[in-house]
């Protein structure tokens, strides 16, 4: 499964090499543009199928804006779970809420992200959802860059599940170069 998913992400053009500044402020020689990968309906559907088992035991899904929203919606369609989104900050108009959508406030929610590095943005989203009264004990990401997110979230009572790691993407890319 992992090799197949890593191969599909690489084939989509989402795995890039070069010099990149990440949302965490760190510099990296690899960038994973899951927004590009999630624009492919077949790949997005495949990712949702593989991620659907993590929705078991949750009443709702919360996608982090912007990257986690397509994956969350696809997971919602795959599993029949209601889906809402978590903004990085409140808008100054409308409801002025960070959490948008059908939130009851007593649900077990699976947080959904596309790529995590240190986990700071995802932990911020977890806290925003918890402020609504929902319980968040699990999060799923398509790619874990393996730079501390799992540990940060674990320390705050949230288990992180990743479909692919950056190591797996690098290994698959290296394997593809040697074929």
More confident residue, 172 or 95: 172
CB count within 10 Å of CB 20 equals 14
Q: Which range among 17-31, 49-63, 90-104, 134-148 shows the weakest confidence by mean pLDDT?
A: 90-104
Q: pLDDT category, 90, cuts 50, 70, 90?
A: confident
Beta strand ranges found along the chain (DSSP E): 15-21, 27-32, 60-64, 82-86, 99-100, 108-116, 135-144, 159-165
pTM higher than 0.85? yes
Q: Could you check whether the bond before residue 66 is cis, i.e. omega within 30 degrees of 0?
A: yes
Report how far apart the first and last C-alpha atoms of the chain are (Å, whole number): 19
Tens digit of pLDDT for each residue in 120-175? 999 999 999 999 999 999 999 999 999 999 999 999 999 999 999 999 999 999 88
Predicted confidence at residue 179, as pLDDT, reads: 57
CATH code for the domain of 21: 3.40.50.2020
Q: Which range among 13-17, 53-57, 77-81, 173-177 shows the weakest confidence by mean pLDDT?
A: 173-177
- For residue 129, give its domain range: 2-177
Report how many domains make up the chain: 1
Tens digit of pLDDT for each residue in 4-32? 999 999 999 999 999 999 877 889 999 99
């Amino acid at each position: 499964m992992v090799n197949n998913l890593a191969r599909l992400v690489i084939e989509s053009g989402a795995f890039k090499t070069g010099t990149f500044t990440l949302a965490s402020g760190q510099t990296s020689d690899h960038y994973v543009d899951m927004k590009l990968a999630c624009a492919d309906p077949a790949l997005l559907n495949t990712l949702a199928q593989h991620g659907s088992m993590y929705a078991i035991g949750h009443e709702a899904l919360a996608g982090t804006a912007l990257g986690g929203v397509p994956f969350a919606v696809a997971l919602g369609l795959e599993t029949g779970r209601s889906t809402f989104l978590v903004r990085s900050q409140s808008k100054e108009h409308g409801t002025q809420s960070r959490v948008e959508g059908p939130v009851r406030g007593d649900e077990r929610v699976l947080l959904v992200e596309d790529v995590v590095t240190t986990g700071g943005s995802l932990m911020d989203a977890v806290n925003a959802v918890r402020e609504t009264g929902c319980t968040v004990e699990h999060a799923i990401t398509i790619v874990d860059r393996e730079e501390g997110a799992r540990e940060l979230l674990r320390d705050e009572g949230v288990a992180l599940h990743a479909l692919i790691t950056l190591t797996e993407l690098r290994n698959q890319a290296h394997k593809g170069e040697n074929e």
